[in-house]
């Protein structure tokens, strides 16, 4: 079969590519099965940490292993140190393994390291060292003074020195918040980054003394390892409650009620009023206290207290209902009388039962004595009395008396 002339060069090219591919595949198979081929692995370390580089071969032909740095400078040739850098130390050296450590790792240590074995031909393997830039502790700015209830506050969190760029997270009392997307800036003359995040909050009274936190999320750190908190102070109008000295105001007694205002700042001014009327003449105002020297029923009513802390004014109310001590004592007397009456009835019933029982016992005792004496009254002597008592009732039945 004849091919067109314009296809012949293409066929030669295809054949050459096929042969090249087969050759490469054959070389790869030999590479994978070569017991003298060094084997390494990539490593990652943080700035200031330590990294261990290990190179191994499956078999040894007494050739030495060698580690070189990113600038192809020899670090160790077998057990022999080649570069004077005290951070680099020998960890292990055998015929099939060469392991070294690099301490106090810096960003400049990042790159490809080469392990070589000087056979014919020389065999090599590479390991990439990745160095993580550790971010600084985050700093929160933007908060300078207290914020009034309903106002807004914008906080900025900044962390430098991270590589790759860190992620900043906002929290309010352990609850995560959503801020604006992080802004990433490259640090001049360094391979690290500065990360900036902003958070805007509308605050309420429940946010007073709340801790707003900013945490750094980065592979070089444990969760929550670097964290900064900023307390927030919120100004708000007071909540007002009125608390009585006791729950039973009685006529003629002294009585005090107190106005309690809970706000930020604390209230400094209190105004007392009586709803639908004037304050009683006997009532005295002492800041947050209203004192009644002697209660009277005319003092009954609703009392109002207005607390002012400079941020706002709020009002609370209390209803005073004076109790009549006479009615209370009468009621108490009635209760005692009822109890006394019940006790008297019980005692009377017990006495009646004793009287009835006594009469019953006396009656039965008299009958017994009467039966015992029958036949004894008419006996002239004791023997005859005994005979009459034992001998039945014939003599008694024959005895008759006549009255003229």
**How confident is the prediction along the chain (404 residues), in pLDDT tens digits per residue?**
333 333 333 333 333 333 333 333 333 333 458 999 999 999 999 999 999 999 999 998 889 999 999 999 999 999 999 998 999 999 999 999 999 999 999 999 999 999 999 888 999 999 999 999 999 999 999 998 899 999 999 999 999 999 999 999 999 988 999 999 999 999 988 899 999 999 999 999 999 999 999 999 999 999 889 999 999 999 999 999 999 998 889 999 999 999 999 999 999 999 999 998 899 988 999 999 999 999 999 999 999 999 999 999 999 999 999 998 775 544 445 556 678 788 888 988 988 888 888 888 887 665 444 444 455 555 555 555 555 554 444 444 444 444 43
Structure tokens at 131: 């160095």
Matching residue, tokens 């031909």 = 121
Cα–Cα distance for residue pair 386/376, rounded to 1 Å: 7
Are residues 279 and 256 part of one domain? yes
* Radius of gyration of the chain from its Cα atoms, rounded to whole angstroms: 56
Are residues 51 and 70 part of one domain? yes
Cα–Cα distance for residue pair 349/105, rounded to 1 Å: 106
* 296 occurs within a structural domain: yes
DSSP 3-state of 232:
strand
Are residues 111 and 43 part of one domain? yes
**pTM of the predicted structure, to 2 decimals:** 0.63
Are residues 45 and 97 part of one domain? yes
* 340 occurs within a structural domain: no
Are residues 146 and 98 part of one domain? no
Which of 275, 296, 325 is the endpoint of a domain? Answer: 325
Instruction: State which residues form the domain around 194.
Output: 139-232
Structural element, H or E, at residue 169: strand 167-172
What is the domain-level CATH number for residue 250? 2.60.40.10
Which of 77, 104, 132 is the endpoint of a domain? Answer: 132
* 250 occurs within a structural domain: yes
Which of 325, 358, 388 is the endpoint of a domain? Answer: 325
* 351 occurs within a structural domain: no
Cα–Cα distance for residue pair 282/276, rounded to 1 Å: 17
Query: How many structural domains does the chain have?
Result: 3
């Amino acid at each position: 079969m004849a091919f067109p002339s314009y296809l012949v060069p293409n066929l030669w090219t295809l054949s050459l590519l096929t042969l090249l591919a087969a050759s490469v595949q054959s070389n790869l198979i030999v590479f994978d099965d070569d017991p003298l081929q060094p084997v390494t692995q990539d490593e990652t370390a943080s700035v200031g940490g330590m990294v261990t580089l290990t190179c191994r071969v499956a078999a040894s032909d007494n050739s030495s292993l060698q580690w070189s740095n990113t600038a192809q400078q020899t670090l160790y040739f077998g057990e022999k140190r080649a570069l004077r850098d005290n951070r680099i130390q020998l960890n292990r050296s055998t015929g099939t393994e060469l392991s070294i450590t690099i301490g106090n790792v810096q960003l400049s240590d990042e790159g490809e390291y080469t392990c070589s074995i000087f056979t014919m031909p020389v065999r090599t393997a590479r390991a990439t060292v990745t160095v993580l830039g550790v971010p600084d502790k985050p700093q929160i700015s933007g908060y300078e003074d207290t914020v009034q209830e309903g106002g807004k506050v914008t906080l900025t969190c900044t962390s430098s020195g991270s590589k790759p760029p860190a992620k900043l997270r906002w929290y309010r009392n352990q609850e995560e918040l959503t801020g604006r997307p992080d802004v990433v800036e490259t640090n001049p003359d360094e391979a690290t980054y500065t990360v900036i995040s902003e958070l805007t909050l509308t605050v309420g009274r429940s946010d007073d003394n709340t801790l707003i936190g900013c945490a750094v999320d980065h592979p070089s750190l444990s969760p929550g390892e670097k964290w900064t908190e900023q307390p927030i102070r919120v100004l708000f109008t007071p909540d007002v409650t009125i608390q009585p000295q006791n729950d039973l105001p009685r006529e003629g007694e002294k009585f005090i009620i107190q106005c309690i205002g809970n706000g930020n700042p604390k209230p400094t001014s209190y105004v007392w009023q009586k709803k639908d009327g004037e304050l009683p003449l006997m009532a005295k105002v002492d800041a947050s206290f209203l004192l009644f020297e002697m209660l009277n029923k005319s003092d009954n009513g609703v009392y109002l207290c207005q607390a002012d802390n400079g941020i706002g004014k709020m009002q609370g109310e209390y209803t005073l209902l004076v109790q009549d001590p006479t009615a209370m004592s009468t009621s108490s007397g009635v209760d005692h009388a009822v109890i006394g009456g019940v006790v008297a009835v019980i005692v009377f019933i017990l006495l009646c039962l004793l009287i009835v029982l006594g009469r019953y016992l006396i009656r039965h005792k008299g009958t017994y004595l009467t039966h015992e004496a029958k036949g004894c009254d008419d006996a002239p002597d004791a023997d005859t009395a005994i005979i009459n008592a034992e001998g039945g009732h014939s003599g008694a039945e024959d005895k008759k008396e006549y009255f003229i």
